[in-house]
Amino acid sequence: MILRSSPASPFGRKVKIAAHVLGLMDQIEVVVANTLDPEDVIRKQNPLGKIPALILKDGTTLYDSRVIVEYLDHLAGGGKIIPASTKERFDTLTLQALADGVMDAALLQVYETRFRDEDKREPKWLEHQSGKVTRGLDALEAHVPHLSPMPTIGAITVACALGYLDLRFGETWRQGRPRLTAWLEDFAARYPAYAATVPH
Ligand SMILES: N[C@@H](CCC(=O)N[C@@H](CS)C(=O)NCC(=O)O)C(=O)O
């Protein structure tokens, strides 16, 4: 299988960590995509031009990250990082949605600086997005995710969101959030896949 991603993509990292912990990484070749390049075949593989996308052996392409991790979990036998039982399943999927939302809001702030000249940037829009990040982090600080021998997709996505904030915004998210800070250290210590996929 081929994974189209980039070294900095938090959504791509989510898929990579999922593949690592499920023991599937050796079946995946990562081919770097440049979403800004109109010639990059990613726009044919995924009409949205977004990464990650996973190309299966029969040529089928899966996107987005939520669909890909669902597929990987299925391939690994099911119920591994996306629990089968109702309460755990929907708790972890909701946690994934929260952390995905933090990543989306962080990315939109980065894109505002990437796509707009400084005098055209909209502070109200940036504030609207950073509010989502702040509230998401505060909710996570209040209820840090449970860590088990096999991490859930919720916990994996939270770790990727925090790693992306580290990469693009520095360590300020840690201020006033001691539990979440310790949680990320614990996650990194438990799962070598986190260090193996550090964004750059
Ligand atoms: N919901 C999507 C989000 C993917 C996403 O936003 N990927 C970013 C890179 S991390 C991207 O491809 N951006 C390029 C674009 O929006 O054109 C997923 O879970 O895969």
| Residue 156: band (very low, low, confident or very high) from pLDDT cuts 50, 70, 90 | very high
Which pLDDT does position 127 carry in this prediction? 97
| Rounded distance from Cα 95 to ligand 1 centre (Å) | 18
Which pLDDT does position 183 carry in this prediction? 98
Domain 86-196 has CATH 3.30.43.10: no
Identity of the amino acid at 58: D
Domain 2-75 shares a fold with domain 86-196:
no
Each domain of the chain, given as residue ranges in start order, spans: 2-75, 86-196
Output the ligand 1 site: residues, CB below 6 A.
9-11, 35, 49-52, 64-66, 100, 107
Which pLDDT does position 142 carry in this prediction? 98
Which pLDDT does position 68 carry in this prediction? 98
Which pLDDT does position 71 carry in this prediction? 98
| Rounded distance from Cα 53 to ligand 1 centre (Å) | 10
| 161 within 8 A of 106, measured Cβ to Cβ | yes
What value does the mean pLDDT take over residues 168-194? 98
What tokens appear for 86 in the block? 């109702």
pLDDT digits (tens, 9 = 90+) for 7-61: 999 999 999 999 999 999 999 999 999 999 999 999 999 999 999 999 999 999 9
For 2-75, CATH gives 3.40.30.10
Q: pTM of the predicted model, to two decimals?
A: 0.98
Average pLDDT, whole number, for the chain?
97
